[in-house]
Structure formats: C-alpha cells, structure tokens
C-alpha cells in the first residue's frame, strides 16, 4: 500500500515539474506604464489564457505624463492604473521608480533589467526599438540590448544566478523609418482578443482619457460613459494590417487564416539575443495556428 502511494506521489511530482518546465516565461519591458499594454497586450492575454507567465515592466514611474498632475501624486496614480491593467489580462505588472522623461541607459538600470529577466527565467523578452520619438523609449531599448548577452554571464550582477539559455529578444512594432524600418518577423493574430487589449489599456485612465487626448487637442472628444470610452479607444487604436504584417501572417498562419485577421501584433527579432528557428518560434508562440 505504501509503495503504491509512493509511486502515485512520484507521478504527481514528476507531472508538476514537467508542467512547470513547459511554461513559457515572457517579459515585456516598456519605458512607461501603458507601453507594454499598447505594444503586446493582445499577445500577452493569449499567453496568460494558455497558462504561461507574463511580466510587464515599466522602467519609469510615469510621473511626467500629464497636463495638470505630476510628481509623486501622478506616479501613485499610474502605479495603481498599471496594477489594474495587469489584472484585466492576467499578467504581473512591475513599475520601477525612475523619473519619466529622464531615463538613461546607466549601469544601474542595466543591472536592474538583468535581475528582472533572470528572476523571471525569461524565454522571451520584448521591448522598444532604439529608433523612436521619445528618449525614454530609445534609452529603454539601449538598456535592454545592453543586458541581452549579459543575462548569461555569471559574474555580472552575481547576486542572481545567470540564465543558462539566452532568451529570444524581440522589438515591438513602430512606424519609424530611419535608420531602419521595422521588420515584422513574427505576427500574432489578436482579432478575437482585441477587446481584452483595449480593456487593459483603458485601465490607464490618466493616459488614454486625459493626457493623450489633451496632447492631441481632442480632450473635448472623450466620451462620458465607460462603454463609449472603450469603443472610442478601440477605434482610435485599431490599425489596419500592413502588407508586411500580412506577409508574416501568411507565413505563420497560412493564407486562408491570414485573410481573416483584422488586427495583429508584430515583432522583430533582435540580433543580440538567441537566434530562433521557425520551429522554435512556433513553440514559443503556441497561439500560432490555434
């Protein structure tokens, strides 16, 4: 009887270990609270729904992004908004306490990023490209790029064990053309979950219903009710699938499925991390083909 119980417990333990090892760990690093939601929200929700682990990181506390609020008071608002956004799509949200609009790719920041990636045991890391209108976005990208190889070096930030396998580092989509335009190596269909992405973004109330409309001269156009605001935000943020993104969708989903995709999130492979083959990409993005 005891031996039977032992074998059952061993089976359960082995199954639990295998299940844990099969989980995909994703880290999305943005410069500000809401960057990760905008760039990866739909893909992140799909990862979370499939039982994988997603961490959204904001390298700044967002304390400058408003027309009438600022400093510590705004930072607290944005922290609370980020936590709510994470809950809405099932991801963990971490906000670092660097000042908005003052981010620099320092050694301290690099080591913070290395520790975050290691502690999450990341398989995938997604961040901005280093070509962008906002210096925080550019410097976030540089800091992540500088950490890409060093996450595997034991003597760098030695208080956290180095990763034995380098993650795949990816850039999120942008429209900047110089010096190099974005290349959509990977395209993920988020048509069916776009409403979840918008719901997550809407948690950043101070940004999408106050600061950005004010910045664009559209504050008087923000609807009153939550339902209307979600529809307004979803329509404003919806982008047509570009020819380049369509070609990537055809590669990963097939022509028939690609024709049905209305909204997608796309990613470019960074040369500084692991160089994945197509089959590995399919394993890392199990929502492809579903």
Instruction: Please report which confidence band the pLDDT of residue 290 belongs to, taking 50, 70 and 90 as the band edges.
Output: low
**pLDDT tens digits, one per residue of 134-151:** 999 999 999 999 999 999
Q: What are phi and psi of 95, to 5 degrees?
A: -115, 120
Alpha-carbon distance values, 132 to 57, 129, 138, 254 (Å): 18, 7, 6, 32
Check residue 156 and give its pLDDT. 98
pLDDT tens per residue across span 71-105: 999 999 999 999 999 999 999 999 999 999 999 99
Distance CA 17, CA 14 (A): 5
- Give pLDDT tens digits for 190-235: 999 999 999 999 999 999 999 999 999 999 999 999 999 999 999 9
The pLDDT assigned to 14 comes to 39
Please compute the mean of the pLDDT values over residues 160-170 and round it to a whole number: 98
Cα 236 from Cα 20, distance rounded (Å): 39
Question: Phi then psi for 126, rounded to 5 degrees?
Answer: -120, 135
CATH architecture of structural domain 23-284 = 3-Layer(aba) Sandwich (3.40)
- Count other Cβ atoms within 10 Å, centred on residue 234: 17
């Amino acid at each position: 009887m005891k031996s039977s119980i032992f074998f059952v417990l061993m089976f359960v333990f082995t199954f639990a270990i295998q299940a844990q090892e099969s989980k995909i760990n994703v880290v999305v690093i943005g410069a500000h609270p809401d960057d990760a939601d905008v760039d990866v929200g739909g893909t992140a929700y799909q990862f979370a729904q499939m039982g994988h682990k997603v961490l959204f990181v904001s390298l700044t506390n967002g304390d400058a992004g408003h027309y009438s609020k600022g400093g510590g008071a705004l930072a607290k608002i944005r922290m609370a908004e980020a936590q709510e956004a994470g809950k809405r799509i099932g991801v963990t949200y971490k906000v670092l306490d660097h000042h908005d609009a003052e981010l620099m790719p320092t050694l301290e920041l690099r080591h913070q990023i290395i520790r975050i990636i290691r502690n999450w045991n990341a398989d995938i890391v997604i961040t901005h490209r280093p070509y962008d209108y906002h210096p925080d976005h550019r410097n976030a990208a540089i800091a992540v790029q500088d950490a890409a190889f060093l996450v595997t070096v034991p003597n760098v930030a030695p208080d956290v064990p180095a990763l034995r396998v380098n993650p795949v580092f990816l850039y999120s989509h942008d429209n900047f053309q110089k010096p190099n335009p974005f290349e959509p190596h990977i395209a993920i269909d988020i048509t069916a979950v776009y409403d979840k992405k918008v719901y997550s973004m809407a948690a950043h109330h101070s940004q999408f219903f106050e600061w950005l409309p004010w910045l664009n001269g559209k504050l008087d156009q923000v609807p009153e009710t939550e339902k209307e605001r979600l529809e307004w935000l979803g329509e404003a943020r919806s982008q047509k699938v570009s020819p380049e993104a369509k070609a990537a969708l055809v590669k990963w989903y097939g022509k028939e499925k690609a024709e049905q995709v209305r909204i997608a999130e796309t990613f470019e492979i960074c040369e500084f991390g692991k160089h994945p083959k197509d089959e590995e990409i399919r394993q890392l993005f199990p929502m492809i083909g579903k």
